[in-house]
Chain A
């Protein structure tokens, strides 16, 4: 049998800013049969998207296919001219982008963009195309399939846009659809619906697919075969069952291990020495103040919580639930409108301006994106120097010694101190970001989604580091995340937020049996490594309607 796709010894070169040529795909071969879904999995920079795009004969600006062949349905896309490639795109191979929100042109209606493929290639009349699009909308279980097309992209939700992007890909009846991390930007509760819709449509049409992802659990639900990539090379190829149950390559095992639940051991009783932070009835938000003294848009509504010394609190919830605003209000960056913040026995000012330097020192915040939190013009040394001068007034020599200590603490080589953030990897930058918070010698560190921009394996290492530092330094963390497994791994108590309110407070040991219906929905939506998970998952449709803005 001839395969639909044959990639043979593919090489892709990238030209760096300094004009050097680097091989980013180093001879990858793979094949896809008709109707088969193959997942490309690996960390960022492993070349998975680059390989997927070559299936359309496309290389991003600065990149060039430098060798090998990519044959789809008998045509070698590497050898075709740009015009001939354009004919293949949308008709034989179609693309579902990572962020549909960015991939839809904001200036035209959704329907125009969905049927654009048929218009470009003259596949059918616009009326036929519209009818077909509405059928696809229905098959992808989009709401109001008749009229959703007349809206503009900003008028529908992220989960809906992602499915509309799939409709856009399927309208030209392609033989192969490339999914480029299509659910990464979605909340877990939304992800389920989107995955189900993709799976149903692909199975029904017998369409072959390439599913690019860094999330093994998601891939396990949809792929027949998995290709594990690292550094532009294939590490391991096998059926989904084989990879999940009998991975041979150490890198694959590392990926799998990052999924193992690592519940935090029981906290020794002496660690709990009374309350460190107590928040009562906190309200915070944005916009003009109303007559009642409350802001126009309230992102956090009447939240109370408590952190004990040496223990960690996790805050979990979907995007927009107010968890980051809560962190900003606690840190005083966004002064709360109402509420009491008691830290270490003393009530704190609502605004950071009203707090003493020592109070500021004892509570530090670490932001999600180390890229934007670190000044790109300063060396690591200067970045870590700043809190040492500001909070401790150390002299030059003491600071230099302390910076070495800090770098040791976050397991970074000492000679990194002369580099700038741009020269570091994502995981290293996040460590520097964390070291800066440690430099203040705080009692409490607010971690706002600090692992979400990192790859699974790197994130797991950062979490281990955090745990170790806690043991050594007796810190407490407030750990904000949308990722349940991360919070579970490090926290003693978990607060679930929804719509600005705290809906439940739960101990990790009892995660299997949450009380509040939203927590039940949220926890049951986290993908599991079991390929049968999605098909076997039964969620109460009432709940889904009540809590999901799908």
Chain B
């Protein structure tokens, strides 16, 4: 009984590891394709060719790319993310604080957006065809169509400029009280909730409606089950797979794709760190950030896959 599930789960994990390896390969070589020579940039235009050659040797830049890739991978496996080119600090130290900030923002957003999205999606499915359902559908489509910088800028204009309720910029390091935290997080969280909820609402609604149309739901109705029992006992467990996948996809966006929101609110997260690193051509930092995004994404997707497998009694 254990075997098929175990082997399925293991194969998912194996696929995740293989994917990660391919991604790391892609990340490494994509970043080495960036124009410009790091040693020249670091030493400036006036540097002597000898100095540049010396720095290149010291940074192993003269070695074949494949060898540098292996060196980098081995370093990663040992937890050594390398040293930042730009300010000689270990990449791990640079990232640590920023990553926690990003996780905080993602966590707070998930805390609000997932329950809101699931509630709206499920209730819209239950009241399919009603005015409420139509309003929810129109609004989610509207929100999907509006780009996030538009939402973010509008939020700043309304709440910071006109109403002056909230600060326009977020300085996560200056939080001392709960009210300060609320003020700092309010706008980025509202913006991100708008962006990630829409997709979750639509997917949840579709998945629940699909299961509500099945004969076993009609059977439950004919047993005299109440509407909430029908939805929560019969429809939802069977819609879990697609819903979890939609949630994972939306949340993975929070871990890596919030560059625009972090930049607009000047929030010190990891996405902003990466944008800065690109500007200074800080290869180890860019690579590490990219890897973190990929790991986060893979982790969420694999987790969703495994939950879907475990929730299916045919595989159990």
Q: List the interface of chain A (C-beta within 8 A of B).
A: 53, 56, 58, 60, 86-91, 94-95, 97, 99, 102-108, 116-117, 120-121, 152, 154, 168
Contact = CB atoms under 8 A, between A and B. Distances in A.
**Consensus secondary structure, chain B interface:** helix
20 contacts: A53-B222, A60-B218, A88-B224, A89-B222, A90-B222, A94-B223, A95-B219, A95-B222, A97-B218, A97-B219, A102-B214, A102-B215, A103-B215, A103-B218, A104-B216, A105-B234, A105-B237, A106-B312, A108-B233, A116-B225
Contacts, number: 73
B314 to A, nearest CB: 5
A152 B314 CA distance: 8
Given A152-B314, A154-B314, A108 B223 contact: no
B158 interface: no
A117 B216 contact: no
Contacts of B234: 105
B216 A102 contact: yes
Contacts of A56: 222
Given A107-B313, A154-B313, A90 B223 contact: yes
A441 to B, nearest CB: 43
Q: Chain B CB within 10 Å — which of A53, A102, A168 has the most?
A: A102
Contacts of B220: 105, 116
B224 A89 contact: yes
Contact of A121 (B214, B224, B238): B224
Contacts of B238: 105-107
B128 to A, nearest CB: 9
4 smallest CB-CB distances across A and B, nearest first, come from: A89-B224, A102-B215, A107-B237, A90-B224
Contact of B224 (A102, A117, A152): A117
Contacts of B215: 97, 99, 102-103
Interface of B: 214-216, 218-226, 229, 233-234, 237-238, 311-314, 316
Nearest to A104: B216
Given A97-B215, A102-B214, A102-B216, A120 B314 contact: no
Contact of A116 (B214, B223, B237, B316): B223
Contacts of B218: 60, 97, 103
Nearest to A86: B224
B311 A117 contact: no
Contact of A106 (B219, B222, B314): B314
A287 B24 CA distance: 35
A168 B219 CA distance: 10
Contact of A89 (B223, B233, B311): B223
A1 to B, nearest CB: 28
B216 A86 contact: no
A79 to B, nearest CB: 18
Contact of B223 (A99, A107, A117, A152): A117
Contacts of A152: 313-314, 316
A101 to B, nearest CB: 9
A196 B225 CA distance: 30
